[in-house]
Amino acid sequence: PPQDLGGLLAEGERMLEANAFGDAETVFARAVELAPRSAEAWAGYGRVASGEHRLRSAEERFDRALACDPRNLRALLGKAVTCSERTELAEAEAHLARALEVDPQALPARIFAGQLHLLRGDHEAARRTWEAILAEEPGCHDAARLLAASLLASGRTEEAMTVARSALEHGPDPQLEARVLYCLARLERPLEELRDALSAARARHPGDLDLLSAGADLLAARGDAAGAYALVDQLLARYPRSPHPLQIRAVVRLTLNEDLPLALADLEQVRRELPEWPAVLLLGARLGLRIGDGDRALDYARALAELCPRDPGAWRWFAQAALTASDLPAADLGLARLWALDPSEWAAAGACFQHFGLEDYRGALAAAERGLEAFPDSLTLTVLRQGALLYQGDPGALAALRGLATSDQAVEANLILASHFLKQGQTEEARPYLLALERASKTLPASYTLRGDYARQLGLTRQAAEAYEVALATNPRSGEALLGLAQVYDALGNGREALGLARLAAHSLDSIGRLPTRAGVAHALIARLEAAGTEALELELDAPPAALLALGERALEARDHTLAAAAFRAALHQELANGEAWLGLCRVAGRRAFSDCPRAYLAKALLTAPRDPRVLVLAANLAHEAGNPEEARRVHARLERLHPDDPWTAYDRGQLLFLAGELPAARAAFEHAVARFPTNEEVARGLIDVHWTSGDAERALEAEAAFARATGSDALAFERAKVSIQAGRGAEAREACSRVLELHPREARAWAMRGVLRLGDGALEDGVADCRQALALFPFQPLLRCRLAEQAYRAGRAEDGERELQLAWSCAGSEDLLRVALRAGHFFLEELQALEQALRWAERACAADARSALALALRAEARRRLGDAGGAERDFREALERDPEQLEALRFLAEEALARLDRAEADALSLRLLELAPADWRSHTLRGRVLLHAGQTREAWPRLLRGAELEPTRVQSLLPVVTVGADLGEWEAVRDHAQRCLALDLSEAEAALVRERLRAANARLGQ
């Protein structure tokens, strides 16, 4: 560089114009060293720091320049601009006024005056300022850029386009070219036209930083990920030492909503180099909130608020991040500063909610009334005021809130009313407000917590647990949801899980000082469980996240899902965006067969670990199960792109074919995967499942044995048990279950499977013990509870049976309620002949699924046997409307047609039954009777014989053969079937008829 001051200043100016800030820093540093009293040198040095967004350094350097020369125009204007970036508008205006005193016609100062108008919210004054400059200087690109941007932001896109293109007629400018591109995008021009315009602009300004950045931003907004990332790559190649391309890549990732943790990593690198860049700090806060990482968002927002202490926007981000991080003191500070700088309805409502959280209802009332003074028409604040009054016992507040809850916007009214009634134990009163909450705000964490409270009070423990789990997927620090979940497990007798959850709930509630009453409940639950000698989890809640993750993995390997879930929850309590922990909870929820939870946890895993192959496999599988194969294929394509040689990718190739029902293709894919990854457990399990689903038990067992040989382990012993059952090898299945339990004594599935096998073998005591052990490990197994209930009824312990059935109903998820009710109803109907109880369970089945033909058919049959023929016929006909292949309905209606001698309907229905159920004796016997009524005795005979052949132990199948056979002279058949009939429980008339036909047959046959 030159050694004289003039040469250094000129060289530094050229570098600033070329955005070469690093080189400019060196040149101006030499200049101030050479001439420490030079205002121009210090002003240039300040402009370097300002260009790199090092605002505090820039202010210090501009102050040094002004100390040398208080009338230095560049220093005054630089100081004004820097103050404005920190939202110190009064100070910025003062320095601008001094700059205009020095030179009232200084173009940069007049342009900045327009920017200050804009920052003050006076858009029209800003535009008038820039329009006046352009009237004098039509080629002033700075004024044109600002005016175009302002018009574009106001929706006046055509005017913005005109301004930008008019200025470009006076000379090229890449930033104005970018404004034209933004105008084209706002006008929703086709993507190809936008690309062409971008290519033309880049040809005129090759490698320009602003143009490439704008292009990447615009293409990302239009969903052109490949085009956006290609421009980012060009930026990174052209400006390898600049942090700006990393910031643009983070913006692109945020816009495309993919790889957000990588976007935050980019920002961390930018922030290390430029810690005072407001745009980066704001972007970091937004990204942190997008992935649910309130701690990281708060870190960025705090830095932004400290840098720009008079910016209301900064304090709003700060408050929002603090609320997400459950940092109540920080939230108090943010809301207070926001209210002081820019009183808003949002700030007032936030302050109210803070007081509600602390159960400080007087404080909530004061905050609401202070807000209403500023915003008297605010529905939200009106609702919160009435809520505070309600919680203080005001008798008029309840009626007022009921009236306010009718508004579509009054989410808070529904929230308060639902919470109030649930605290009073009035579940029916709470129900309509919970339904309104579900319609209005499905993602509100408090809504899910209240839904959990509601289901728990109704005794629907499975639905309560799922609601609490979804609430925890939104906010893993929710002490209320953790406590509710602990109470669910406690009610089901699973003390170990309840104690672990209660400890975490108390830890959460104590650490954030929220809801002291709930914290007291949590501590009381802990004390009671510990006093009862409940086994405690070997878990330190404050252990480092890495240690907690390792513990969770070990617990998963040991099939200890209780400990695994607790470890992952504890890790998330410390690091809200820990992708490994979110994935761990996905895996636990999936193994426990919860329905909504894996999807809720997966959403967080996709945000926090978007490139993990296990997360992508789970996302593809759940998308396919949800009926969205296109999304599944899209996710799999990403998996193939990111991890082409990973065993998880090989697994997913086969799994998607398997889920699509393409079993031969899935088998081939898994066989190829097993050949490539012979020791991978998931790949081997996938191949076994394909064989098992195909009904090929032998090949499934061969695949399991091959894995055992390759690994020397019995990791797939549970699969061996499952396949052995399919192959009819009960002893081998029991042995495999026992082997699983040797390896993993907390594997609930193996206890359940062995228990069911033992019950089937008649080893009732051992079977019941195994089933109870399975339920002690995981209580939400409703069909297993049904088996225990049936066993209790058979043993004459009706009270125990009824209790188990009620627990089965309680533990059933929405998809299991129907199955439980149908199983119980059929058990009472067929085995116990308890018709009133059968009808009651049939009513439950209809309530569980109003569209179920099976439920209607069960209720119809119960009504028929109770003598309600009219009700039975209505139900059967409705069942048939819903399912034209409903067998019970077809049989009943065919019998009714026979009874009223409607031969045409009986004929049609009996033929349909025979077509649908050819292996059912009732189809053949009924068809034979229809033919008999039509006088077609010879045609009826083979049908009646087939019915008796399929069911040789029922009077209803045998007796028609005895009577019709005699008419047809089929005496051998008459003799054989009559002898079988006499071994059954016959009425006197039936017995007399059968004996008379048997004597006739013996006489004819010479016996």
Instruction: Indicate which CATH number applies to the domain containing 280.
Output: 1.25.40.10
Residue 65 and residue 94 in one domain: yes
For the cut 90, the answer to whether the pLDDT of residue 787 exceeds it is: yes
Residue 588 and residue 550 in one domain: yes
The set of residues, in sequence order, having a beta carbon less than 8 Å from that of 184 and lying 6+ positions away, is: 161, 193, 194, 197
Contact by Cβ (8 Å): 87, 308: yes
- Helix pair 345-357, 379-391: axis angle to 10 deg: 20
Per-residue pLDDT reduced to its tens digit, 76-92: 999 999 999 998 999 99
DSSP state of 828: I
In whole angstroms, give the CA distance from residue 225 to residue 216: 9
For the cut 60, the answer to whether the pLDDT of residue 506 exceeds it is: yes
In whole angstroms, give the CA distance from residue 339 to residue 333: 10
Residue 91 and residue 115 in one domain: yes
pLDDT at 177: 93
pLDDT at 441: 58
Number of H helices, E strands in the chain: 58, 0
Residue 299 and residue 282 in one domain: yes
In whole angstroms, give the CA distance from residue 659 to residue 619: 13
Would you state the structure tokens that stand for residue 710, as one six-digit string? 């390759």
Query: What average pLDDT does the segment 640-658 reach?
Result: 93
Provide the domain count of the chain: 5
For the cut 70, the answer to whether the pLDDT of residue 381 exceeds it is: yes
Q: Does 131 map to a domain?
A: no
Residue 18 and residue 58 in one domain: yes
- Looking only at Cα atoms, what is the longest distance across the chain? 140
Residue 507 and residue 585 in one domain: no
Average pLDDT, the chain: 91
Using alpha carbons, select from 914, 368, 147, 258 the residue that is nearest to residue 607. Answer: 258
Per-residue pLDDT reduced to its tens digit, 402-419: 988 877 667 888 888 998
pLDDT at 407: 72
Residue 520 and residue 563 in one domain: no
Residue 16 and residue 75 in one domain: yes
pLDDT at 804: 94
In whole angstroms, give the CA distance from residue 486 to residue 483: 5
Q: Does 867 map to a domain?
A: no
Residue 574, CA atoms < 13 Å, CB-side half-sphere? 17
CA distances (Å), origin 873, targets 863, 876, 898: 9, 5, 14
CA distances (Å), origin 86, targets 78, 269, 276, 300, 713: 13, 22, 10, 15, 63
Query: What average pLDDT does the segment 923-936 reach?
Result: 91
Query: What average pLDDT does the segment 490-498 reach?
Result: 94
The set of residues, in sequence order, having a beta carbon less than 8 Å from that of 340 and lying 6+ positions away, is: none
Q: Which of 63, 91, 121 is the last residue of a domain?
A: 121
SS3 713: coil
- Beta-carbon count within 10 A of 552 CB: 29
DSSP state of 407: S
For the cut 60, the answer to whether the pLDDT of residue 1 exceeds it is: no
Q: Does 899 map to a domain?
A: no
Residue 99 and residue 15 in one domain: yes
Per-residue pLDDT reduced to its tens digit, 991-1002: 999 999 999 999
Per-residue pLDDT reduced to its tens digit, 207-237: 888 899 999 999 999 999 999 999 999 999 9
Per-residue pLDDT reduced to its tens digit, 517-533: 888 999 999 999 999 99
Using alpha carbons, select from 665, 590, 601 the residue that is nearest to residue 625. Answer: 590
Which pTM does this prediction carry?
A: 0.81
Q: What is the residue range of 302's domain? A: 272-342
Per-residue pLDDT reduced to its tens digit, 679-690: 999 999 999 999
Give the helix ranges, DSSP H, for 883-968: 887-899, 903-916, 921-933, 937-950, 955-968
Residue 516 and residue 582 in one domain: no
**45-49, 464-468, 524-528, 896-900, range with the lowest pLDDT:** 896-900
Q: Which of 595, 610, 625 is the last residue of a domain?
A: 610
Residue 520 and residue 606 in one domain: no
Q: Does 835 map to a domain?
A: no
What's the burial of 190, exposed, middle or buried (CB within 10 Å: 0-12/13-18/19+)? exposed
Q: In this structure, what CATH number is given to the domain that contains residue 552?
A: 1.25.40
For the cut 60, the answer to whether the pLDDT of residue 365 exceeds it is: yes
Would you state the structure tokens that stand for residue 827, as one six-digit string? 């058990």
Overall residue count recorded for the chain in this entry: 1007
Per-residue pLDDT reduced to its tens digit, 708-726: 999 999 999 999 999 999 8
Using alpha carbons, select from 804, 365, 291, 220 the residue that is nearest to residue 576. Answer: 291
What's the burial of 895, exposed, middle or buried (CB within 10 Å: 0-12/13-18/19+)? middle
Would you state the structure tokens that stand for residue 866, as one six-digit string? 């109770």
Using alpha carbons, select from 775, 774, 842, 785 the residue that is nearest to residue 808. Answer: 785
The torsion defined by the Cα of 502, 507, 508 and 514, in degrees rounded to 10, comes to 100
For the cut 90, the answer to whether the pLDDT of residue 507 exceeds it is: yes
Q: Does 329 map to a domain?
A: yes
Residue 531 and residue 549 in one domain: no
Q: Which of 585, 610, 635 is the last residue of a domain?
A: 610
- Beta-carbon count within 10 A of 256 CB: 18
Q: Does 80 map to a domain?
A: yes
Query: What average pLDDT does the segment 614-632 reach?
Result: 89
% of the chain surpassing 70 pLDDT: 98
Q: Does 219 map to a domain?
A: no
N-terminal to C-terminal alpha carbon distance within the chain:
131
pLDDT at 593: 61
Q: Does 128 map to a domain?
A: no
Contact by Cβ (8 Å): 752, 771: yes
The set of residues, in sequence order, having a beta carbon less than 8 Å from that of 1006 and lying 6+ positions away, is: none
CA distances (Å), origin 156, targets 111, 148, 183, 217, 800: 21, 9, 9, 21, 75
SS3 492: coil
SS3 308: coil
Contact by Cβ (8 Å): 302, 586: no
In whole angstroms, give the CA distance from residue 264 to residue 109: 36
For the cut 80, the answer to whether the pLDDT of residue 127 exceeds it is: yes
